[in-house]
Amino acid sequence: MWDGLIRRGTRLLFSPIGRMYLTVHGATVGSGLRLRSLPFCRCYSSGRIHIGDRVTILNTLFQNPAGILHRTVLIADEGAILRIGNDVGISGAILDARSSISIGDRCMLGANACIYTSDYHALDPVERRRYDATRVSKAPVVLEDDVWLGANTLILKGVTVGAASVVGAGSVVTRDVPPGVIVGGNPARVLRPIPEKMLGRRVEPSAWPPA
């Protein structure tokens, strides 16, 4: 009982504070934001962060004993857009939009999931030493509706994860994921389809390239 009261009390306290914090740092926030502590949020120059309705953001191990190691990180670099849909749940994830990130409705991002849209450093060692950001490869990432990223997953630049797909815990995703499948491993590969009766609508994996 006391635990439930504490959860409700901290959510009532931090949700309006969190909304103010996110707004001050350049984000637009929909209705029904759920927070019990503050994430890390930064928009740089013309970067933009858009957060939909009824989004839940967890930031501590107390809030999610699945293993949150750090608070959620929301970053939109110059010219990039980080867009989070409605009814999304995020647990200590890193969403670093050096190129744009789009997260669909009802997605779940498990503890410490990371989405990176940049290589951060050039492949050429000379260019790395020069810290030449213009030589660093970047590409947008898209999570379609109802995607579930398991704990400690890593989504790399240029990847689209299809609707209703599940990325297994600890996976590293380096290429597009078809809709309606479970993927896992490093690099991630398709393990099996999700039974169609479990999907909210029909998904056509044949529209995607083979695994």
Question: Ranked by mean pLDDT, which of 62-66, 110-114, 204-208 comes out on top?
Answer: 110-114
121 is known as an active-site residue = yes
Superfamily of domain 2-195: Hexapeptide repeat proteins (2.160.10.10)
Domain boundaries, the chain: 2-195
Mean pLDDT for the stretch of residues 143-169: 96
Residue 151 pLDDT: 94
Residue 102 pLDDT: 97
The model's pTM is: 0.84
Q: How far is CA 137 from CA 117, 120, 211, in A?
A: 9, 8, 24
Residue 209 pLDDT: 37
82-115 burial code (b ≥16 CB/10 A, e <16): bbbbbbbbbbbbbbbbbbbbbbbbbbbbbbbbbb
Higher pLDDT residue, 51 or 17? 51
Question: Average pLDDT over the chain, rounded to whole?
Answer: 86
Least confident stretch, 86-100, 101-115, 126-140, 161-175: 126-140
State how far the Cα of 54 lies from the Cα of 115, in Å rounded to an integer. 21
- Give residue 206's pLDDT band: very low, low, confident or very high (50, 70, 90): very low
SS3 (DSSP) at 17 = helix
pLDDT in tens, 167-196: 999 999 999 999 999 999 999 999 999 987
Element (H, E) at 48: strand 48-51
